[in-house]
Copies of this chain bind each other. A is one copy, B any other.
Amino acid sequence: MTKAVRPDGSGSNGSGSNGSAGPEGRSGRGPGRRPGPTETREAILAAARDLFAEKGYDGASLRAIARAAEVDPALVHHFFGNKEGVFTQAMRFPVDPSEVAAKILGAPRERLGEMMVRTFLEVWDDADRRAPILALLRSAMTNERAAVMMRQFVSTALFGKVHETHRIPMLRINAAAGQMVGVMLLRYVLEVEPIASATGEELVDLLAPTVQRYLG
């Protein structure tokens, strides 16, 4: 999963010019722009997302990101200015809040709890959608800037809609959020058993009444 094979439209380029004993020290590729359309920026962001998700902001180094994207560290800088820039861009779509909100708010009020649990599980079970949230959560533990983003994300984007449309007190929404965040943490980060191996339906049965009580 770590290695991304490039499709490579035509094998016509460089690599064979000085085949004997060139200074193949760093990254096995010469300087200069690569042929074909530019896809590197996206590759860097993808690698960044994975690494931030795995190690958090401080733990993921620019150099490791560059390595994973098979690129020189300076290129990361060229595109994003600095590490914070990479993080900000990589987090630029934790989850499309409107899409999620629509799904949850489409349900009748007496099934809010169930829909919320189902939606959380759906998002967290999909590695691509889980990554940015996990990155944000991990980073927010040790990095104040990430904590601000997380706070904003939790309050405004995710649970704010529920507050606005149903006039539910914020404290109750926080309690529901706490239940969901805590369970996700136990299940996906700490991998505490047996909740890490429970089925989705088990969790819905277990948690939906709680969330419903807070939001109903």
Binding site for B on A (CB under 8 A): 55-56, 58-59, 137-138, 140-142, 147, 150-151, 154-155, 170-172, 174-175, 177-183, 185-187, 189-195, 198, 202, 206-207, 209-210, 213-214
CB of B210 within 8 A of CB of A179, answer: yes
CB-nearest residue of chain B to A185: B181
- Collect the chain B residues with CB atoms within 8 Å of residue A187's CB: 178
- Collect the chain B residues with CB atoms within 8 Å of residue A155's CB: 192-193
Q: How far is the CA of A180 from the CA of B175 in the complex (A)?
A: 9
CB of B147 within 8 A of CB of A138, answer: no
Q: What are 22 A-B contacts with C-beta separation under 8 Å?
A: A56-B141, A56-B142, A58-B59, A58-B142, A137-B141, A140-B189, A141-B142, A147-B191, A154-B186, A154-B192, A170-B193, A171-B198, A174-B195, A175-B207, A177-B186, A178-B187, A179-B183, A180-B182, A182-B182, A185-B185, A210-B213, A210-B214
State the copy count for this chain: 2
- Collect the chain B residues with CB atoms within 8 Å of residue A181's CB: 182, 185-186
Q: How far is the CA of A154 from the CA of B187 in the complex (A)?
A: 13
- Collect the chain B residues with CB atoms within 8 Å of residue A147's CB: 189-191
Give the contacting residue for A171; candidates B141, B172, B194, B209; CB below 8 A.
B194
Interface majority SS on A: helix, strand, loop or mixed?
helix
CB of A195 within 8 A of CB of B182, answer: no
Tell which of A186, A189, A193 has the most Cβ of chain B within 10 Å: A186
CB of B190 within 8 A of CB of A140, answer: yes
A139 to chain B, nearest CB (A): 9
CB-nearest residue of chain B to A191: B151
CB of A154 within 8 A of CB of B59, answer: no
A57 to chain B, nearest CB (A): 9
CB of A179 within 8 A of CB of B177, answer: no
